[in-house]
Structure formats: C-alpha cells, structure tokens
Structure 1
Amino acid sequence: MKVKIHTLFQYLLDTTQADPEAFIGFSLAEPPKLGDFLDDLDPDMSLDWNLKSFRGLPELRQRVIDQAGLAGLCTADDVVITAGAAEANYLAFMQLVQPGDEIITETPGWPQIEVLAKARQAQVKLVKRDEANGWDLPLDQLENLITENTKLIFLTNPNNPTGKLLSAQDLRRIAQMADKVGAWLIIDEVYAGLEWTADRAPSIAGIYERGITTGSVSKALGLQGLRTGWLVCQDKNMVMDAIILRENSSEIMNVMGEVIAEVALRPDRLSKALDDARRDSIATLEYLDRYITSEPKLSWHRPEAGLIGLARLSAGIDGDLFAKRLLAEPYKTFLLPGSAYGLSNHIRMGVGGGASAKLELGLSRMSELLAKW
C-alpha cells in the first residue's frame, strides 16, 4: 500500500512556499555553524564512507552509548547510525511489523509510525494522553490495549509534541507490559537532554531486551542538517535486520555527518552545547509561558522537557484556519496547527531556533490576529 502524506508534512511543504518572517514553534535548538567544527576536522579526511563498519563510525557509536547512559548495559555493536531518528524508526518498524500485526502508539505523538502502520496494513491502536492531567500517558489504558497480538509499542520520551516526561518507573512498567506478550518497544528520544523539571530518563535499550532507543543530534544540538541519528538495541538480530534494510535504501551513512556528530558528542563539547541550549531555551520558555498566561485566548500545560508544547485555543478558533491566516500577509508568521497531531483546537508553540526565529515578533503578530478573531 502506498504511503500517504501526513497533515504535519503537508503543512511543512506548504510553508516552504510562504517565506515566513517569524517562527512560533521552532522545534530545534539554535544551529551551530560549520566553522565551529573546523578545528576538529582533518582536511585530508577521505569523503568515502568510513570503511570500518556498516553500523556507522565506531567512535560515533560509542559516543551514542555514552551520552545515553548505556555504558555497561549496551555496547557500540548495539548501535546502528542512521539518517536521523526518522530513519531509525523506519528501519525498526519495517523489519518488525507485517500486514495484520497490531501496534500501539500515543496521541498526541510523533505521527510517523501511524502513517507507516496504515501503509503496512497493520492494526493501529491509540492510547490518548490526558490533557486534563498535563498530557500524562494513562498507563492503565495502555495496559488494557495490549493483547497477545501486539507486535510493537511506539512512544516518545520526552513526548513530542507536549514535552511530557515518562519517568524511569513508568518506563519499567511499560517494559513489563510489553514483555508479557513479547512485544517490541520503541522509545524515540530526540528531545532527551533538554529536561526542565527532572533528570533525563533512562533509555529503554538498557531496560528491556526488546527495547529500541532511537535518537539524533537534530533537536537538542540543533544539527538537523547532518541527518545523523541512531538505533540502539540489545537484540543482535534486530540490529542486523536494520543494517540489511538500510543497505537497500540509504545503504551507508553520510561520512561528514558521522564525523561532525562524533565531534559534537564528545563529552566536554556535548556538555557545553546542552548547557547553552538549556540556558537559552529555559529563558525563552519563561517568556513564552508569561505570554500564554497573559493571552486570554490561549492556555497550555507548560512542557516538562524539550522545545515544544501544545497550546489550546479558546472555543470557536480553528487551529488550521488560524495558522493559515497567520502565515499569510500581513503577518507572515509560521505556526504549526494542532491538526498535525489530531487536535484541531490546538497550536504548537516552541522555544527553539534562537534569535533567527524572531519569536517576539511572531508572538506580537499572533496577538494582533487573536484580537481580531
């Protein structure tokens, strides 16, 4: 079955034609420049692939293990370097799920797996996060959805797009649920490292033998253009299946992406980058929180982690129509409507992008449009 476009991607495609002047809801940290890495790059480096492993640059795979706190639980051979977390999710899903299989995913959540499941003709069950309780994942509801036919559970932590966190206790309970029926469990961690209210949760690959951790340098480090992510799993067959599928798609990794990502994940450099991202993002989050509190037609549950959250519009304001009007003249401001996550009465707000996002300008224009609604 053909993969059909999702609302989120369709809106992003449309936005590229609009040339917005300001962005509300930027979803990644302010990107560094290539010049920031030049001192650590070898000008004689070959631009052929690394010739060491189809799993990805060995040094980079070890950095992935270390930054995720998986040393002693997983090894570099449990890692496959991918074209972002999206490819990691794709490789795992396509090798594990067959037509007719049952999968469970969250809503609101990253829509990729639901799109792939429909194309694969798998049965999709949705566990609904509870907005009234700050977007909690209702674990009892999740447990009730799991059956002997459940092949895969896919979640994000921190949750994309609400910023809600699953604790270590939550993850262990979910792993126990999955283990009872032998289900695989993918946790996408693209926003890990940017926690505001608690410590980073442990990675599922270190908790559960059929647990798959996916992540990337895209969000917290602002290195989306490198297209460098990873899949981590203790199951050797799962890792090899991912390598085999990638051989028939992207085949090998982007050597420059691998090398720069390895530099970015070196402990001293990573620590500083995360400290900078946290400092800038929390300051912007405080500003955004004050804005939403003062705006009578908006409300939200402030994110516990990550760079984005969902705000509810007051009754009678359709998120799609609002976002389209805000993108058009005279406002020319990008905003992702909640329909991208199945919530027509919401909009995505974010604190990423740094000064280039021109958030303050975008918010002032949004207030103008809200006042006229």
Structure 2
Amino acid sequence: MPMKVQIHKLFDYLLETTAQTPEAIVGFSLSTSPQLGDFLGDLDPNLSLDWNQRSFRGLPALRDHILTQAGLTGICSADDVLVTAGAAEANYLVLRQLLQPGDRLVTDTPGWPQAAVLGRAQQADVVAVPRDEADDWRLPLDRLRDAVTPGTKLVFLTNPNNPTGRMMDASALVEAVDIARAAGAWLLVDEVYAGLEWEGPRAPSVAGLYERGITTGSVSKALGLQGLRTGWLICRDPSLVMDALILRENSSEIMNIMGEVIAEIALRPTRLASALATARAEGQAGLARMDAFVRATPGLTWIRPQAGLIGLAHLPDGLDGEVFARALLAPPYRTFLLPGAAYDLPHHIRLGVGGGADTQLQLGLDRLAACLKDMT
C-alpha cells in the first residue's frame, strides 16, 4: 500500500528557517522576479476569473507558446501539453500515476529530491545513480545503463541538473533515451532551468525524442515567475497526459487563470526573448562574481555551473554544511544559504546568484567569507 509522503531535508530546512529575517541571501535559485505592473498593459480588465472555459489542458495560446519555447512545434501537438501548478505538480502527476509498489524508479543524485520522496511513498524500488564531483558532476551514462534494467518503470532526470548546473548535451540525452527505450522505461526530464545555458546550446526536449519521453518545465526559474505556479508537462502518449489530467482534476482541479494569462504573455516569443536576454546577462554577471569569490576563498571549491543559477560548493575539510549554514544565518552574519544536506551532501553548501539586488549578494558573500574564517 502507498505510504505517507515523508518530508525531505530540503523542505524541512526551508520550513524551519522561513521565519528568520536574513539581511542577505547567497543561494537564490531564480532570476529577478518581474512585478505585476510589468504585465498590466497586456491584461484585459474585463477578464473573467473563472477557468478559461476553452480547455481543461490549459489556455490554447499558452500551450502553443510552451511548444515553441521547447522547440517542439510540429513535433508535438497542443494536446500533448498539460498546464500544471509549476513543474513540481507536473512531476507529481507523473510519479503518482505511473508508479506502483515494487516498480523500479531510477534517478540521479545529487538531483531534484522530489522523485525519490514520492517514489518511496509509492513503495517503488528507488535506485540512485550517483554523480561524482571529481567528474565535474557529469551524469555517468555507464552507471545509468547498469541501473536501468529491463522492466524499469521510470527514469527521472533534471537537465540542466538541479542543483549542480551540469548539462547533458544532445548526444548524452540521445544515449539516455536509448537506455530508457531498451528497458521499456518512461524517461522524464525536468527542464526548469532551460534557457539559462552558459556552455553550449539548449538540449533538445525529450518529449520530441522518445515516444515515452516526458518533458516538464515552468516559468519559475529563468523568468523569475515562481509565484504564478504555472508549469507544464509534454508527452506524445495520450494516455499519460489523460492520466495526469485525471489526477489533477482530483487535486488542483483547474488552473490558476491569472497564472495562465500572465504566463501566456510572458512566453510570447518577442517578450520571452527579451526577458531571457536580461536574465542571461544578470546570471552571467552573477556567476562571474561567484566564481571569482570561490577561487579567492581559502578552502572553498566548486564546479562552476554550465547552466542555471545555482551550484554546489565543497567546504573546507571537516566543516559540516548544516552547522555552517545555521551559524551563517544567526547573528552577526544573518545570511541565508541552503546546506548540502538537502542533497545528501553534508560537506557542501548551495551557492546561487539569482534574485537580483534584493538578495544583497555581495554583502552575503562578505559575511560568508567572514563566517568561514571564524569557523576554520
């Protein structure tokens, strides 16, 4: 029988520390958030706040934009897209509907912990494929091939990887598809950081490469629109999309109409291109600053992310990441970051450069350096 969903360390730490009032944040994971006023000129004041009354799958124009930004126009149809409450709900709908007790779920680590949490709740056999820091956090395709045995139900990956920022290029993704296909497994690739690639082009979306490929994504990270809770899943298998739609009917039921409408505006091609250009410029500048900081800080090392706004840094030998994070959050430093224990890496911390000026990144880095000096 399915079990109660257990809290993961990442969310547990966030819940415990949310009431704190840090003066700086080093680890923000999304681009600077726009304001509502940025969209008012494109909003119809007579818009009904009832559901869109055109499709339970999401606004047709929004679904078209989702296909366009994913490079799937002409490969997938609008009916292959389901709009969801963020990528998290998209992943949840797939994991909940596909996995039965005893099914084999393969996922990478470090990676987005949602798959393992929900897989265990479904009493699936959760198999982790470890990425090695010594190998620049690359996904080890040989280990993936060994783990994805015949009959594996689902392979869950993030690309770009969350939280290391490592990318699978097109050839690696095709090999992952071949591995999944040989085992008859579904392959879900969460693309929440797509659009923020620093080394090489965006990888193709798996929904266009494989009949059992599932692409999930959202407007949260690259566009800073996390508060809209608007994401999606894309899959060419109509039964998978319908199963997800049925489950969503019994959870969130229908979408947030304001979230859909604003996301549709944000994903209009011209507007999207401009927003991504701004986000990329800010992200590149922030990562250059962070990389220089890490190189100049004794005992601190990291593999600079190839994509996205976050990465994992290794602390000086013997220093526990959670002990350090709690000390940094307390006076006199009052700076927030996420400990590596959230990803089962107790001697790491998560560094990030998102959030814009409000995060007071330079202040946070100065205090991080001071705290490290005091603790080592």
State if a TM-score over 0.5 links the two structures.
yes
Q: Give 3-state SS (helix, strand or coil) of 1:343's partner.
A: coil
1:133 shift after superposition: 1.4
> Partner of 1:59 in structure 2?
61
The code of the aligned residue for 1:40 comes to D
Aligned-partner Cα distance in 1 for 2:77–2:187: 19
Q: Which residue of 1 aligns with 2:149?
A: 147
Q: What is the CA deviation profile of residues 169-202 of structure 1, one whole-angstrom value per residue up to 9, with x for unaligned ones?
A: 1111111111112100000000000000110000
- Check conservation: 2:152, 2:183, Cα contact below 8 A: yes
For normalisation by structure 2, the TM-score amounts to: 0.99
Q: Which residue of 1 aligns with 2:314?
A: 312
Q: How many residues align?
A: 373
SS in 1 for 2:337: strand
Match of 1:348 in 2: 350
Q: What value does the CA root-mean-square deviation take over the aligned residues?
A: 0.6
Matched residues in 2 for 1:117 and 1:208: separation?
22
Matches within 5 A, 1:210-225: 210-225=212-227
Moved over 6 A (4+): none
- Which deviates further from its counterpart, 124-133 or 202-211? 124-133
Query: Which letter does structure 1 place at the counterpart of 2:296?
Result: S
Unpaired segments ≥5 residues, structure 1: none
Give the whole-Å Cα distance in 1 for the aligned partners of 2:17 and 2:280: 28
On the 8 A contact 2:107/2:129 being kept in 1, the answer is yes
SS for the counterpart of 1:150 is coil
Partner of 1:161: 163
- Deviations along 1:56-103, whole A, 9 cap, x unmatched? 111100000000000111011100000000000000111111011010
In the other structure, the counterpart of 1:280 is 282
Distance in 1, Cα, partners of 2:299 & 2:266: 41
Pairing of 1:27-106 with structure 2 (within 5 A): 27-106=29-108
Residue 13 (structure 1) shift: 0.8
Secondary structure at 1:272 match in 2:
helix
Pairs within 5 Å for 1:181-196: 181-196=183-198
Paired residue for 2:330?
Answer: 328
CA shift digits 1:291-334 (9 cap, x unpaired): 00000120000000000000000101100100011111111110
Which of 220, 226, 229 pairs up with 2:228?
226
Answer yes or no: is the 8 Å Cα contact 2:151–2:184 preserved in 1: no
Equivalence for 2:202: 200
How much does 1:149 deviate? 2.9
Give the aligned partner of residue 270 of structure 2.
268
Q: Is the contact between residue 219 and residue 263 of structure 2 (CA under 8 Å) also seen in structure 1?
A: yes
